[in-house]
Amino acid sequence: MAPKRRKPGRRALLDGNFARRKQPLREAECCIWDTELAGFGLRVRPTGNTYWFVRLRHRGKHRRITLGRSDELAAGLARAQARRLLAEVALDGLPKRAGVKAAPVLSDFVDTYWDDLSRVWKASTTKRNWNAWKTVIAPTFGAVRVTDLLPADIHRWRDDCSGPQEALFNRALPVLAASLKYAEALRLRRKGSNPCWGMPRNKREPKERSLTPAEYRRIGAALREQEAADPAQVAIVRLLLFTGARIGEILNLRWEWAQPPRLLLPDNKTGAKTIWLDSQALEVLEGIERHENTPLAFPNRARTKPLNFENGWLPFRARYALPDVRVHDLRHSFASTAIMDNVPLATIGRLLGHVLPEATAKYAHLSDDVIGDAADRIAGSLAQAIGLRP
């Protein structure tokens, strides 16, 4: 009995329009061949998922190479890849199986994009992002091909992260998004196919708070008491209080950047930045001792890098009953004080160096005491209006 011949696959012009059509569910996998490029095809799985592939033939041997999912790889790009592989086979024969890859896995791709992306990051950002890659992304997606990562994978990853891992997910998500955006630039992924886009981060309880009047008084008294023993540490805290600057901007301050009444920082978190110095901040700056052989305003003992502020800040908090006051709370308090003094949000944003207005808006809340006073004033006005108070 003659063996049953395999049915030839369907033939069609495999373009983007065809790839976007919903294929009917089948009991078995089938192939649809392109009418223009011999060997180029679309494989339809029983699940309905479709994959571009190319069938290579050389001296009686055949090999089929999957190029990528049709919803991740544009039809034109898949056709170009197939044409390139067919041309290579005509010149050099079939590729070795170990070298057949439609796209690299993320662990291999990281070497391609990291050098380029890290050039535009600050050193601290590069270190933080690399840690997110190494400890979070690589163990989860390192073996996945760049073209195979889908929104469902990101959703599942987010759902799997709970408790302390929620913060790790929030830090790692933009790193993964940047790598896949780079893959799009290299045409390894279809433009606009980044599965990280639109993925919400885990909500976290806000840690920012404003100092209370009592805390301000305690800090003021503590700084006066510590001034003789540790003038550099005291000067740093006062500059943070009077300017609303970030701790890194003050610790890395160089004298060449000081051009009263401003500090001109060439490279900070959001690019070049101007920090405006009020009369109090100018007085602090003028009182800082200058050291030879270093451009830094606050160098360590070796005069080679900025001093370690945390070593003095933590004991300072404990000694003066300020256990939960973080350094960033000084910046938050600067902004909140400005808001209570009716300074416009746009002006506060300029003072803080914010690029986006929404970055400033988060500071627009008032202390309980201020809200209580406002409620009393409103109630008094209403009582007078209805005749309860003369």
Which one is predicted more confidently, 342 or 208?
342
Task: Return the closest-CA partner of residue 133 out of 104, 109, 166, 162.
Answer: 109
* Residues 290-343: tens digit of each pLDDT: 988 899 999 988 889 998 888 888 888 888 878 888 888 888 888 888 877 777
**Which pairs count as long-range contacts for 194-202, CB under 8 Å and 24+ apart, including other chains?**
195/149, 195/150, 195/151, 195/153, 195/154, 196/154, 199/151, 199/154, 199/155, 199/158, 199/173, 201/169, 201/170, 201/173, 202/158, 202/161, 202/166, 202/167, 202/169, 202/170
* Residues 179-195: tens digit of each pLDDT: 888 888 777 888 888 88
pLDDT band at residue 232, thresholds of 50, 70 and 90? very high
For 365-381, give one letter per residue: b (16+ CB within 10 A) or e.
bebeeeeeeeeeeeeee
Q: What is the dihedral of CA 107, 112, 113, 119, to 10 degrees?
A: 130
Distances, alpha carbon 386 to alpha carbons 374, 377, 379, 383, 389, in Å: 19, 15, 11, 5, 8
Half-sphere exposure of 253 (CA within 13 A, CB side): 24
pLDDT band at residue 42, thresholds of 50, 70 and 90? very high
pLDDT beyond 70 at 374: no
pLDDT beyond 50 at 2: no
* Residues 139-168: tens digit of each pLDDT: 888 888 888 888 888 888 888 887 777 888
**Which pairs count as long-range contacts for 16-22, CB under 8 Å and 24+ apart, including other chains?**
16/74, 16/75, 16/76, 18/42, 18/75, 19/50, 19/70, 19/71, 19/75, 22/48
Tell me, what's the pLDDT at 49? 85
The reply to whether the predicted model has a pTM over 0.85 is no
Cα distance between residue 13 and residue 19, in whole Å: 10
* Residues 107-118: tens digit of each pLDDT: 888 877 787 777
* Residues 69-116: tens digit of each pLDDT: 888 778 887 888 888 788 877 765 555 543 444 578 888 888 777 877
Tell me, what's the pLDDT at 176? 92
